[in-house]
Amino acid sequence: MANLKEIRIRISSVSSTMQITSAMKMVSAAKLKKAQDAIIAMRPYSNKLSELMSGFSNSSSDKSFGQKRKEKNILVIAISSNRGLCGAFNANIFKEVNKFKSKEEFQNSNIHFLTIGKKINDSLSKSEKIIENSSDLFDNLNYENVSLIAEQLMSLFIDQKYDHMEIIYNSFKNAATQIIKSEQFLPIPENHREDSENKDYIFEPSQEAIVSTLIPKSLKMQLFKAVRDSFASEHGARMTAMHKATDNASELRDELKLTYNKARQASITNEILEIVGGAEALNN
């Protein structure tokens, strides 16, 4: 059994760790509220816009962003966090990337990456070709900064440097649950829903003019939503991870205190026995 001094040091160390994890949990909880409100507010608009654009692009004469080509060069936009201590948040992205790479239809394709987040960039840079790392995006996350990346991606697709683009990210469900999603960014996937095909829209000034304006906006919004989703998911995952770490530290501290009290009691008992034994020896 460890001596009393060692146990006291361990109790002090665990208590300090518990204070840190508890503070990190509260910080993530505060950031989560703002990020959660932002993603929940923008989802209906983003989803409806993507649905409309998929329907419009099917019948539009402008097939620039919906053009299907032989998938020789593929670009994966992988979104993670810049920091750790958020459970399996980043590991799940890496697993999904490997799952995407192993698909049979992509075995003869060149797969490159654009990373958003230091963690996924560090993991992929060892073995994959990364055309750009935009980890600093989280330092000032807004629509304008994400739009610049989306415009770059659209240019790469129009110039036929890449034939397929995929976004892999964590979608926010609640603080305890994040859903890994792999969404096709370009070419724009066709909308096969019957209700969208049966709708008769009136376009002013023209369908081509509206589609040519709204499709880039829709793509920018899709990427912005993915980054926002990942940002909210990160804080949810970190809050949950720090909550569990705090609970584990509390349990460990209680166990160490119990061990300390037992060792202290045993030490006191031994001292009493030694005193009694010495007194009896003197009497004899």
Domains of the chain, CATH where assigned: 4-20+244-283 (1.10.287), 28-241 (3.40.1380.10)
Structure tokens at 2: 């460890």
CA atoms of 82 and 181, how far apart (whole Å): 19
Pick from 98-102, 240-244, 274-278: least confident? 274-278
Residue 60 has pLDDT above 80, yes or no: no
Looking at per-residue pLDDT, the higher value among 199 and 176 belongs to: 176
What are 133's strand-pairing partners?
115
pLDDT > 70? residue 8: yes
Q: Model's pTM, two decimal places?
A: 0.85
3-state secondary structure of 81: coil
Helix (H, G, I), strand (E, B) or coil at 84: coil
**Residues 115-124: tens digit of each pLDDT:** 999 999 999 9
What does the pLDDT look like over 183-231, one tens digit per residue?
999 888 776 444 545 566 677 777 777 777 888 888 999 999 999 999 9
Q: Which residues contact 267 (CB under 8 A, 6 or more apart)?
A: 4
Bridge partners (DSSP) of residue 177 are: 174
Q: Which residue has the tokens 């920018």?
A: 220
As to burial, measured by CB atoms within 10 angstroms (0-12 exposed, 13-18 middle, 19+ buried), residue 183 is middle
